[in-house]
Structure 1
Amino acid sequence: MREIIFDTETTGLSPDEGHRMVEIGCIEMVGRMATGRTYHAFFNPQMPMPPEAERVHGHSDAFLADKPLFHERAGELLEFLGDAQLVAHNAGFDMRFVNAELARIDLPPIPMARVIDTVAMARSKFPGSPASLDALCKRFGVDRSHRVLHGALLDAELLAQVYIELTGGRQIGLGLADEMDGDASGIPARPRLIPAIGRPHRLPRQFAASAEELVAHQEFLAKIKQPLWLSKR
């Protein structure tokens, strides 16, 4: 089963008030294992970034000024999503922004029936406990020390690990890399999910006893006097 774990960053809390999506990060998983494929994009929102939003994710007007408009990358985003199951934390928020951007360019919305909300999952599994991404990372021991500011791809990577735990805890193929970025900035690279290592398929071993082993077993049993399995209780 193919799943896309994703997160967005925006200029505010509601597209109904004119706010826009400025970043999306997606992680591909197949069979609950990371494949190593990701999709990440920034968008010019064509509006000033409110200071309170910039304090959350750090994306300034100057940073976003040369980024593409949503319609310029919508096709490749939809191609990456395909018909996969989508997973998001507080999914209603993210989907309102994604669908608002699609509506702006006359594309059909993505139905909520395709989306799993990990906030709802966490509240169902741990009623009365905090369900924020930070709280769930802490509960499951997911390292979030590098999360100084929100970032769509980083949060999607953290959410992928949380989602694994919420759905059974099989952390095959998930891990955080320690590599540095390829440039000379010296800034640590964002952690990335490590794809599962391919292993050759092996046929199951045969454990049936051979004819010689069966004969030797019967001879051994014949030497036992008054075996317990023949005694009457």
Structure 2
Amino acid sequence: MLNRLSLRLRIFLFFCLLAFGALTVSSLALWISYRRVADPDLLDSFIFAEILMGFGFLALTAAVWLLFDDNVAKPIERISAQLRARAHAGVSTELDTQAARYLGDLAPAAAGLADQLSGKTMDVAQAVAEETAHLAAEKHRLTALLTEIPVAMLLASPTHKIVLYDGQAAEVLAQVAHPRLNASLFEYLQSNPLEEAHARLVKTGLEVACTLTSVDGTQSYRARMKPLGGAPGYMLIFEDSAANIAPEAARPLVYDFDLLNTSTDEAFENLALQDLCFVVFDTETTGLLPHKDEIVQIGAVRVVNGRIVDGEQLDMLVDPGIPIPPASTKVHKISDRMVQGAPGIADAGRALHQFARDAVIVAHNAPFDMAFLRRHAKHMDVDWDHPILDTVLLSAVLFGASDKHTLDALCERLEITIPDQLRHTALGDAVATAEALVRMLPMLQARGMTTFGLVVEATRQHGRLLEDLN
């Protein structure tokens, strides 16, 4: 049980035990002394003496605990978080040895070990960087090649989840909804023709020609479904997509082959962090009162298998239906003129809801942003019942509740740079929050919080932070 408590809380309980023990011993000593004196007239004096001693013990214990907390417990917690950030999040900032000056040689020794390990990993990092650059070049060539092929192609897992899509396929999917890795094809295409074609593919092991229809019934596609050899899943080729889509307008190839072997039948609480999809979003608003102000911009990005998916993002201006105060425009640079003709909150909210389908929603100070969305849930005709993570609470879990947990402070700790022109824009802040999440996920796993349920349980201990923040 105690192992689940933070270091600072365990130390606080230790000092509470010392105070209780001191009060017990002093009370027992005065009681024995009073019984030996056997003078009832002295009872009030003994009680008064115990009260004085009790307040004295409590004050002394509290003073010593505060000194110990500031000079020992907090520095240990801070050094632990910084070491974990260096080990698992790729952070290279210097350890704060000055804050841990009362810990003897612990901080310098930890800093020396960290520097030595960092030096030894430089060669490995350089080799990885070179190989990554090579793979990026290969991907660029593959993307260029596929762009010249006037058909739309995607790969799907055996459960019909999207594993890869090329530029033309992105345009086909976008006719129905925003294309997303790990999204079900049933969100875009009617299920019966797709399942029938897949059943024939599995039975024969040969290519199957089929006609597919969009879920809204407005589009029809001639397609071919091909097996992937020994790999699970299949390739889906839309043969007549070239008639409506220009190859030169194609988006880059988007893929994650690990999704071929991912099963998400378990409840969210039991899923491993690396198996989750996250949608990280942020909003800009007309003011800071969710019960009366309105959203003017929504930005969101998707994180799949621990990485931000290039090209899968939302960046929408929203017509708030009310004037934008000049003070708010000064912060986010969005004026009344800019939102003219933009979708209202109902349409924008539905787009975000679809984009975040089957994903964990992540935000920095999520209660604030979610309050705006939930107030308009009836107009959107959606239920905001997604699992939610708050990076304020994740920061508190990893770096201690006593630290600052603003987005700027978190980004500084994790060496994330937000360009000035993107700060206080919905997409810019969403990308920064997503980068922070990606760096914190391995740190959480290193702390033993490997499933979504364990992470949520840890964040609940710091819920008061959000109450104070809001």
- 1:9 maps to 284
Task: Give the counterpart of 1:168 among 442, 450, 468.
Answer: 442
Cα distance in 2 between the residues matched to 1:140 and 1:155: 15
Contact between 1:90 and 1:117, CA under 8 Å: does it hold in 2? yes
Structure 1: tracts of 5 or more residues without a match: 171-233
- Inter-CA distance 130–97: structure 2 relative to 1 (3 Å threshold): same
Cα distance in 1 between the residues matched to 2:308 and 2:363: 16
- 1:120 maps to 393
- 2:314 maps to 39
Cα distance in 1 between the residues matched to 2:299 and 2:279: 10
Cα displacement (A) at 1:148: 5.8
- 1:176 maps to none
Q: Return the structure number with greater relative CO, CA threshold 8 A, min gap 6.
A: 1
- 2:210 maps to none
Cα displacement (A) at 1:124: 2.3
Deviations 1:9-65 (A, max 9, x none): 11111221x211111111111111122211121111011112222122111111112
Deviations 1:135-167 (A, max 9, x none): 111111111233464011111111111112222
Structure in which a larger fraction of residues adopt helix:
2
- 2:329 maps to 54
Identical-residue share of aligned pairs (%): 31
Cα distance in 2 between the residues matched to 1:150 and 1:114: 25
In the comparison of the two structures, how many residue pairs are matched? 167
Alignment of 1:71-90 (within 5 A): 71-90=346-365
Deviations 1:88-133 (A, max 9, x none): 0001001101112223x1624413x611000011122222111111
Cα distance in 1 between the residues matched to 2:278 and 2:380: 25
Q: CA RMSD in A?
A: 2.0
Alignment of 1:1-233 (within 5 A): 1-16=276-291, 18-36=292-310, 37-103=312-378, 105=379, 107-111=381-385, 114-127=387-400, 128-147=402-421, 149-168=423-442
- Secondary structure at the counterpart of residue 338 of structure 2: helix
Cα distance in 2 between the residues matched to 1:71 and 1:108: 9
- Inter-CA distance 120–101: structure 2 relative to 1 (3 Å threshold): same
Contact between 1:90 and 1:119, CA under 8 Å: does it hold in 2? yes
- Inter-CA distance 74–140: structure 2 relative to 1 (3 Å threshold): closer
TM-score, length basis structure 1: 0.66
Quick one: which amino acid aligns to residue 24 of structure 1? I
Runs in 1 of length 4+ with deviation above 4 angstroms? none
Cα distance in 2 between the residues matched to 1:145 and 1:34: 18
- Secondary structure at the counterpart of residue 35 of structure 1: strand
TM-score, length basis structure 2: 0.34
Contact between 2:353 and 2:384, CA under 8 Å: does it hold in 1? no
